[in-house]
Amino acid sequence: MNLLVLGGTAEGRQLASALHRRPGYAVTSSLAGRVSVPTLPCGEVRVGGFGGVAGLINWLREHHTDVVVDATHPFATRMTSHAVAATAALGLPLLVLCREGWTAGPGDRWHRVPSPEAAAAMLPELGERVFLATGSGNLAAFAGLDLWCVVRAVDPPPPPLPRRVHLILGRGPFTADAERALLREHRIDVVVTRDSGGEMTAAKLVAARELGLPVVLLARPPAPDAPVLATVEEVVRRLDGLVRSS
């Protein structure tokens, strides 16, 4: 089975590792190339875009792909929509590997909002010093705010950025102790993040809860029209079933 894994997440790397040298699979992982030095998965890797839906269709045909697994970030809506369209055009199975979102617990002060713009509109009433952990692609929505913002990214994000910004370069995962120290050092009043889910990026939520800080949480986009599986193990079982039936 020729398998394309649309990756860039920890789950994508875990899936590639689980299938590496597993009988019956030839796996290629595709990374978007937005990070200058990405963490590479096991096995065959390609980096860069496909050139839209038409480019993805051509790639899948040329490489005789049997199945596509979308293991991109839950907010990578463009790549997911391209995968849905391309696999539908070719009649190929598509599985979506997407970790479950977070659930608020005792002590959490969460404000769920539908968009970065809604988050920006809410911030002035919540505090003056903001930790923006929304991903580089969402920062433009906060550019007009007259608030002091900490932005953390793997690579320097492109403009526009908030007027008063303090940039921290770093690659996670981060511990709750490290996140607590960051929030205290910069006297943060409110945290903004996406409902990415998973344990690897939850430390900032733990730190915010312990410090009694509000969190503005960007809601996830709608689920795609494809089977959505929450764990690597579920995907492997589904793929094994496809191999047996082929």
The CATH code of domain 109-218 reads 3.40.50
Beta bridge partners, 125, equal none
pLDDT at residue number 134: 92
3-state secondary structure of 23: coil
Residue found by looking up tokens 């764990």 in the block? 231
Domains 2-100+222-245 and 109-218 fall in the same CATH topology: yes
Tell me the helices (H) and strands (E) count for the chain, helix number first: 7, 12
CATH number assigned to the domain with residue range 2-100+222-245, chosen from the 4 options 3.90.380.10, 3.30.9.10, 3.40.50.720, 3.10.20.30: 3.40.50.720
C-alpha of 47 from chain center: 17
Computed over its alpha carbons, how large is the radius of gyration of the chain?
Answer: 19
Please give the structure tokens belonging to residue 85: 């369209």
The single residue listed with the structure tokens 């009694």 is 212
In order of 50, 85, 176, 182, 224, the CA distances from 78 in angstroms are 12, 11, 31, 32, 11
- Which pLDDT score is estimated for 200? 83
Express each pLDDT in 193-213 by its tens digit. 999 998 888 999 999 999 999
Q: In the block, which residue shows the tokens 């929509």?
A: 81
pLDDT in tens, the chain (246 residues): 999 999 999 999 999 999 988 888 999 999 988 777 788 899 999 999 999 999 999 999 999 999 999 999 999 999 999 999 999 999 999 999 999 999 999 999 999 999 999 999 999 999 999 999 998 889 999 999 999 999 999 889 999 999 999 999 988 889 999 999 999 999 999 999 999 998 888 999 999 999 999 999 999 999 999 999 999 999 999 999 988 887
- Domain residue ranges in the chain: 2-100+222-245, 109-218
What are the φ and ψ backbone dihedral angles of 3, each rounded to 5 degrees? -120, 130
Report pLDDT for 38. 82
Residue 93 in contact with residue 87, Cβ under 8 Å?
Answer: yes
CA 106/CA 64 separation, integer angstroms: 50
**pLDDT for residue 37:** 77
Strand partners, 68: 4, 94
